[in-house]
Structure 1
Amino acid sequence: MIGNSAEEEHDAHFSKLALSPTGIMEEELTCAVCSDMYSSGLREPVALPLCGHTFCKQCLSSVETEGPVHCPTCRTQHHGASIAKLPTVFALLSLSETFNKTERGGCGDHGSPLEFWCRGCQEALCGHCLLEAHVRDGHHVEKAKIFIEERKMEIHAQGAQLVQKIRERKDTIVGNIINFIVQITQGAEESKILCSSTQKVEKIVKDAGNIFSIDSVLMSSTLMESLQGEILKHSAQRAEEITGAGKQRCKSCSETEATIGLPRQVSASEVEWQEIPLEETEQTTVHEDLGQGSSSDIPVDSKPKTSKEEAFMEGTISRSNSVQEDVTVEGVEKISVKNLRTPWPLHCSVVDGEGRTGRLRWERKRLHLYALTKNLTEAHLLVQMSLLQTLVSREKPEVFLDLGVENGSIGRVYIRLEGRLRRAQHFLALCLGSLGPSYQGSKFHGVAKRGAPGETLAGGKYITSEGTSVNGLMENLEWGGKYIKEKTEGLVVGASGGKPELDAFFHICTRENRGKKFACAFGEVVTGMEVVHAAVKHIAVKDVFIDNIGVVIPTLPL
């Protein structure tokens, strides 16, 4: 026999009950398996004969098999009589029922336990109340236990509905905030366009004062009309973006969003038509805006400019944004940027808990978050990184890489990642800089199998404060096994050979090789494959670098 006898267990058990406060009393009158208090019927207490531990009959029956019954507490094996034949511990059952009557409240008039509920009168009743006033026609009386269980179910159902409503309201609030951020970001991009356009107008108006020939004045008039048409066209397009957003939705994207529960993200096919050179999306200074073709941010008029017009507009602005002159023309209001009390143009950024910032821009009808950096950039609106990071798609996050060379830009590449893979999350962290370093500024280090099937562009030496590095930032990245994929164009794959110290290396496949496979594919180019091919064809591939990098934030249609 293991431990004390059943009789000794019972003596100790009831001695403990006699000395216990209410909390412990209730614990001792509760089955250790189901946590319900003992009661007549299926919840009657029965004691296992060898160890003396007590449980309700239903719980012991559920663990009974053809072999011995193992005590749920001490694992002692019990042979012999079945659970159904074990005697009820009536002393414990009586204590449990008495405890229920005294601790669950009594009748204020009679002092008896409130064991009934009258649905018609909406009152709790004891036995005396029932006999005195409620045993009559029209009174629907039932046991208090039934009423309590019913109300418990109602409370659970109401709680679940309320939690769902709270979650829906939360999603609405977050969606409104993100749409607000989108509108502010769009406004910041538009402010750069308007700032540039204002200066062009000033230049035309100012130079018109020194014109004394018909040809010159006609030229100035044509330029002004052209600029006016560009602004009106841009305003119309902007209005159409706001009012018509969401009308043309990609069915597959909608289905994907509904499945993973994410805000809508514009598909790659929706932005391919508006591909523009990278330098045309950057507006860091006025000189760059006008001297390097960034005026494409304003929809250009279809009428080509003559050489005289180009010469007239060339180098129109040579002064900085902070230096402005008032220009007054008869019949025209004074044009002056310095009269604006708000910063102009506007800039938006994100900031993380360590004070690093990343640019936030509205490009190609989507919100783009650039990699975090310690170099603080000018910003008039700062958004917490933690808010936007939660909006990055968990299943299919999309990142962008701007490839460049010393004398210019090659273009932008969009890559959709397999978010379920740790290797994809590792790549995402290096695109965003969320774990410290990022791929921004790093160079590609070669082309594998140049000109042959299975050709790849190789990169991944991210830059740290100490120089380049390829060490992984996360552990246990996938390699081989079920992650093997056939070599097809556009796949983004790991290139570490399974070695953790090389986990940051990645290859982009530029030529398929059917029948051959990569050890671990974690993403695929969805837009910009021609940019990757251009990088491969560059005379010195090692001169190709990642100029900018970041992630696309899925947003709700405005």
Structure 2
Amino acid sequence: MASSKPEECTVCFNNYDDLRRPQSLPCGHTFCSQCIEDTIKNVQLICPSCRTEHSATAATQFPINYGLEELIKNIKSMQLPSVGAVSVKPGQDRTRGISKKLRSVVQEHKSSISNLISECEEVLSQLGKYQGQVRGWKTQHHQLQDKLFDLVKQNKAALKLLEQEDTSVVNMTTEGEAGKKQLQIMLECLDTVNTAQEVVTTINEADQYNVEAEDWIQKCQELFPDINTVCTSVKVQETIKNALDLVVMETGDTDVPSFLEESGSTIMEKVERITGEISLKTLTVDHLRGMSKNFKRLVEAGLVLGVQQDQHVLRHSKITLQDGQLYLHSLQHQTPPTHAHTIQVMEVMKALESSSSRIFLDLAWPGSTRGRLHIQLNTDTLLAKQFMLLCTGQQQSGSSFLNTKLLGVWKKGEPGECVRGGDYQYNNGSGGAPLLPHQHDLQYQKSGRAGAVWSWWEPCSDKSTQFGITTRDCTPGSQWLCVFGEVVSGLDVVRAAVNHSDISKVTVVDCGVVLTL
């Protein structure tokens, strides 16, 4: 029979208290936390009243019934005082004998204690939620452990097959060595025969050993390799290697980034922050597009990298954020940070194919601060695609505009003024071999406006990566041919470089692509 007392749990009939707090299930029924915990089995909970099934791993997943706790407090306050208690008449001031100043001190302490109690309740609530999360993880680990045991069983089965195969190989090797030795003896005997009878006898014996050797060779061809043994071994090895590589990669990095140690966060906020960072370990283009708070923190901390595997060499590039704009820098051979979160450069570049293709060059020279210019490329042209490759360093050779110099200024101070650069090979104007095969049917634009980016030599030249940037409008009627891009911002940086006393001191100190996804 269910209890009719609101202060009692209808399952165990114990009064609700600090250990047995009333908690409400989604179906609306309330029970003490201990009974709910005891009822949970196999991630399932059945309501003792209505038999409704609920998914749960811990009682802490269900909310405290604060209304019922308040009701219980009111009921207790209306009960008669116990024997020996000092009664206070209505209207009697309990603190009548205390000075106003002391009453103020008492009130301050009461307020402080009340605030501390509230903080304790909040932390206890956080601990309850965290305990539920921890128990959920424990369940998942048990499930993963079962899978690992299955993997160990598969590994043992593969070892058993390999042991059998090894024994078979040893037996066949022993048999083959014996056969080979007999053939060598027959070879020596044939060199020493003196009579016809010896010849016939030796040849007959040799033919027998020949047949046995041929049978042995045929048998080896049929028996080895055992397909089942080889396939099982390779598959199990690959599965275990992949699992171990993942464990080493994820658990080997134990230092927590400083921005995860911020104070003022609740326990569960920290848990969500940490799990969010781990889920971002391997990034996709969608992460770049979404720009979540966690992702932004990673970029600002320098922990987001683009990576590219070239045969046995892994190269990486920085991804930075400036004025709300993401930039992918040129690939380089450098050791990545311990907590790097990576994305494939090829995936990023593929996404850029359907959007604008804008690159950046950072110029610097002695006595100046670096300046950045943005160039919008016409990627329908081969020269633009080649220019993009040299800004990102995607070629396996690692060829890049990084650390190249401007080679000269033409028509300085006059209409049509322009600068030349792009010799990634020798940095003196004698290099600039094409990275892509020339296509004669490509159509290029013409322009006489300042900001035009064009091929200094013919597209079919052996120096086709060298480029020109116009810094002053040409005279009317004059135009540059083979234009494949335009400076959309930072032309003032190039003009400042033109006015430097030695243009060869102006260097491309950084380059890459603007991530407009």
TM-score range, shorter chain: 0.3 to 0.5
Normalised TM-score (structure 2): 0.41
**Structure with the greater alpha carbon radius of gyration:** 2
Q: Which has the higher helix share?
A: 2
